[in-house]
Amino acid sequence: MLFNSWQYALFLPAVAAGYYLLPHRLRWVLLLAASYYFYMSWNPKLVFLILFTTATSYLAALGVQRAGTQTGRRLCLAAGVGLSLLCLFFFKYFNFFSQSVTAFLRSISLPVGDFTLQVMLPVGISFYTFQTLSYVIDVYRGQMKAERHFGIYALYVSFFPQLVAGPIERAVTLLPQFRQRHTPNWDGISYGCHQIAWGLFKKVVVADTAAVYVNRVYGDLNGCGPMAYVIATLLFAFQIYCDFSGYSDIALGSARLLGFRLMQNFNCPYLSASIKEFWRRWHISLSTWFQDYVYIPLGGSRCGRARHLRNLFLTFLVSGLWHGAEWTFVIWGGLFGLFSMAEVFLLPRLDRWQRSLSVGAARAVTAVRWLVCFGLVCLCWVFFRADTLSDALLILRRLPWALSAPVQGVTVALQTMGLVGGSLVFLLAALALLIGHDLVQRLYGDPIRLLQRQKAPVRWLVRYAVCLAVLLTALTLPEGVAVEFIYFQF
């Protein structure tokens, strides 16, 4: 069941109505049943995997808390973490490592056959696995008590708004909310509806529209010129941002309708002036997860310079591998690691120099830094979007040719992509609204709260325009309204 489907448009209000009508002691039962129904709508067999991960992590955390010795606590931690990672490895990475080992053995003239498994990647497995890992580790660290109520814990793992693609919630903040008594609140319901509408605008109007033209180029690289690569990559930057942050907005809005507050997952990432800042604003729940459970345990920055750089690079490599079992994702993570390592040396010097400049000059430097950061991020997106490593390298080899005749190249590229006339105007208008929204958020705060303080004609005009754009786009897109979210494959 997709967020951008008519089924979900009926499912969410029904769950919300039932939630508020039921007595408080039974509400968790409804939410758990709704969450499992939501997850099983993809494939009923997937319920056994999420049940296994839930049960093993639940028992491991109880074992960690009850163990009388440090050795026992460590054994329970290892069991909980190991079983969760084993499931993730089997379904997501087994074929990748098998194929990589086979290719290496063949490269040294050892005759080996292919050994792969025909297994389906369970939707959302990376996200709920990381939630269970953080829970068991937090109990081991003494940051929280183990949850004794299995049903409540199962709801924490499977809570439907954020089950499939996050945000990756921490048990210490989400578990207590399932015991709180929520009452219908017009402010929360209104805010949640606005957030859902904006998330649908991002997904349907911006991401799904951009995807049509991005797919035309990345699906036929030999039939397109270098300038088409540039335009398609820029569009993909906005496609993946709106696709993923749109999902997060719908997730947060859906939870808000029920009285729950999930963590913010995106905060104007493309307005960042450095790669470090970008990762503080992009997929925040994952960035903080890797910081707390990978980067800091490795030593973080509180060590020698060499180890600090190693920790940065390894963290980004693991992050790339988390995104997908392909070498393109590993290189994507490695590039971000290299850029972050370079910033360890450059940023302190650049910040000191910029503080010594006049206000106008400092703003000009910030603009240049923003352009450089956005350019580096887009360079990394090439590896993220390309179907194969050879495709990504082909794009990078041909990109310099885009500078030979930029104006003429843009015109030809847009025609090749079919992005002309009304289609071009519509997409540019949608991107302008998106950028304006992020600028307002960065400069003045939450745009939804700002809108709610406006006069009624302004509020309804904006609401009508956003809903109309979503409906019209849903009716005209070749793929239809229910286009799957990109991050479902992770």
CA–CA gap between residue 376 and residue 64 (Å, rounded): 43
Residues 6+ apart with CB under 8 A from 337: 312, 313, 314, 315, 316, 317
Is residue 24 a contact partner of residue 150, using CB atoms and an 8 Å limit?
no
CA–CA gap between residue 309 and residue 405 (Å, rounded): 40
- The residue whose two tokens read 């991050």 is 487
CA–CA gap between residue 198 and residue 249 (Å, rounded): 7
| Residue from 140, 130, 135, 126 nearest 58 by CA | 135
Residues 6+ apart with CB under 8 A from 311: 295, 298, 299, 300, 301, 303
Residues 6+ apart with CB under 8 A from 385: 214, 218, 233, 236, 240
365 burial type by CB count under 10 A (0-12 exposed, 13-18 middle, 19+ buried): middle
CA–CA gap between residue 198 and residue 204 (Å, rounded): 10
| Residue from 286, 283, 288 nearest 266 by CA | 283
Type of residue numbered 51: L
The full 3-state SS of 211-273, as one line of letters, equals: HHHHHHHHCCHHHCCHHHHHHHHHHHHHHHHHHHHHHHHHHHHHHHHCCCCCCCCCCCHHHCC
Q: Is the peptide bond before 23 cis (omega within 30 degrees of 0)?
A: no
Cite the active site residues. 323
| Residue from 170, 163, 166, 124 nearest 292 by CA | 170
CA–CA gap between residue 134 and residue 432 (Å, rounded): 38
Q: What Cα–Cα distance (Å) separates residue 40 from each residue in 33, 35, 248, 289, 484? A: 10, 9, 20, 27, 16
CA–CA gap between residue 283 and residue 290 (Å, rounded): 11
Is residue 258 a contact partner of residue 357, using CB atoms and an 8 Å limit?
no
